[in-house]
Amino acid sequence: MISHRRWESLDKADIGWLRAGYHFQVSPEGNPAHGALGSLIVWNDDEIAVGGGFPQHGHRDVEIITYVRQGVLGHRDNLGSEGTIQAGDIQVMSAGAGIRHAEFNKGDVPLRIYQIWLLPQERGGKPQWGTRTFPKSDRSGRFAVLASGFADDKEALPIRANARLLGATLKAGESVRQPIDPSRSVYLVVASGRIEVEGALMGALDGAVITNVDAVDVSALEDSELVMVEAG
């Protein structure tokens, strides 16, 4: 079963330095049809202007994955961690018992990121931060696991959630069949390009909930970048 969340149907915000589209409902006034999906509770499409960013603020008991689509993300937190994340790479922050951090545009072009929040398997614990480079060539023509809460995904950044994040790049005309655990739900977003999923068209920035299937067939109608979360 596939339920589409087209870009036009998403709740939006524009506060000058930040323009955002929300794949999941973030306030009681938001789209009630866009509820959480298992442990996946937030997927924000953020565009941060040059010189803009989120000042230091706190989180706890949430796993936050940031997927950088364009530009350079700067990170700084009260653990002493500091870093820059380039387009195509990701960072993972396990908030645990509590962490405070700031994120900002460290480049000279608008910063475009996905902010993905997952509920942890257990509350509390020591907060952690990490980042890793994932060359897009490694996910050409296939879905590669980028972050995971499963021990078998040894090359992925670890998270403390019953979920995994995958990414793929497909050239126009390429197709991929991705196995899915039928007990899990999938949220798929087209970061760029245009694809066909089980016969249905999806354009750039569209999302889709995929449930009760053991595999999904994706065909690229043009060069495309895809991001997917499989959540329990």
Question: Which residues are part of a known binding site?
Answer: 57, 59, 101, 103
Residues annotated within the binding site for Fe cation are: 57, 59, 101, 103
DSSP state of 24: S
Surface-to-core class of residue 212, CB atoms within 10 Å of its CB (0-12 exposed, 13-18 middle, 19+ buried): exposed
As a whole number of angstroms, the longest Cα–Cα distance in the chain is: 48
Q: What are the E-state strand segments in 23-174?
A: 40-48, 53-59, 63-70, 72-77, 82-86, 90-94, 99-105, 111-118, 128-132, 144-148, 157-158, 163-170
Which region holds residue 78: left if phi is over 0, alpha if psi is between -120 and 50, else beta? alpha
